[in-house]
Structure 1
């Protein structure tokens, strides 16, 4: 096993494109096996070369919370999970203030996240206020519901640099979103000149290796600005809660395999910190406002940019200062 694994790793590090079958070999490595450490060392080396050993911290502000009609089983905003019985929308002043705080703390980019129930016109209105107050060079990234060509052009005109959009694990099965609609949104964004941030997520014990491979290969074809691997967080009372969730070591091993499959073109990788940062995670998020992985109306993931930076430094990363180079201007 070690010889075959070594050959696949060598191929990836030399710039070769590994196949779906080779990726499966990597994903089959037990997370605590000796080979898993070789895998993580290789993925870390790849990201260091791709990013010049630099890491970034991006800020994200959630502007509203559930109940969301898309009903993603893994999301606390899903109407069926009954975590948030009433819709809550933050004021424009609060949203702008949170974005400016994250920028002041040193966030390299700002993400604005809204549920699928939030009107696109209202989102653009808030975004214009945020963009007006941010430094002109700070990239603004949209994390919103699916949209078409006209909306993509409107996002670009408003000043967005890119979008975060995911073809979720279990899309169409664990969500009420048609996979083809997700792909149409990504196509529309790329056509409008928006960059894509994405991930293989949210992964749980219920998902097969074949689905992880499928999503990884889809991401590779997108040529995204950044990618990532995220575990599904257990939402109490959700239909997926019975499956439990992966631990950080298990996800780090998956992260390493995915990084090697994506190659050197992707400069940024988000995911679990700590172990994950040793495996190549060089993009962290400081999150304020509502969050689909939390059951609190007011949540702060990562506390602030400084804490996220400190975590990455502890893993040996140098922090990039200034506007994101993952999302190029």
Structure 2
């Protein structure tokens, strides 16, 4: 759980007694099995990135547990947290902002090794070259002394990937790693992530707003809306047999190659509610075309098929 307090002005403080919060992540619970890639999808503002940052303790949770191999990451002290982060890394969304423009590729990828005091200079150099090679920047030695402005967007993101894997982590959060890249090179980066997962035995959380990429690389998929999990299950089930009206609307909006192919048309009305003043009951209720009286009560996640869970009153009797 992650709530951000809303800091009101002086007059609002005098007239309003109750502290208000933005509930960015609210009672979210899921597991990621070893060696699995879980997709986390939803619109902007759904809480995807905050969830990913919580998992690697880039942010501290307001409440709840974050268990990694049975250990609560939320309670780790500084020394234990540093050890944890050696095995849990992040690939950020924007390759144009996440690389220090004053660092060469060598300095950028070597930085985690220096922070964690791994090896001597020669060993660090070999590990950097190996990471660049795994990230498909070849020949690796030719990239060592380049600066970010000398790289394309795809090459920058591969440098970011090399930096994330140079410590040989067990868990990786990939936060929309292809959304800032040209369409022509997205498939190559997705192939790279899938290959790294297999070769390095990585467990991965793949965050995206592009549902068309989920089927390609994710074992399971979770759909978030306004800080809550709306649906989670095997990717094929969530995409082909979606249950939640919000999931159905997202999938219906994905362009298809065959313009004449039949698809379910789901229209959602209105704007996303104010995250400070959330609607009562189901958070999707004000926009849901199938809303009914029971939706004024908050739905619980329930399993409607093996491994397929949905938080929707339409399935409360199934």
Q: What's the TM-score, normalizing by structure 1?
A: 0.28
**When you count helix as a share of all residues, which structure comes out higher?**
1
Q: Taking CA–CA contacts closer than 8 Å with sequence separation of 6 or more, which of the two structures ends up with the larger relative contact order? A: 1
Rg larger in structure? 2
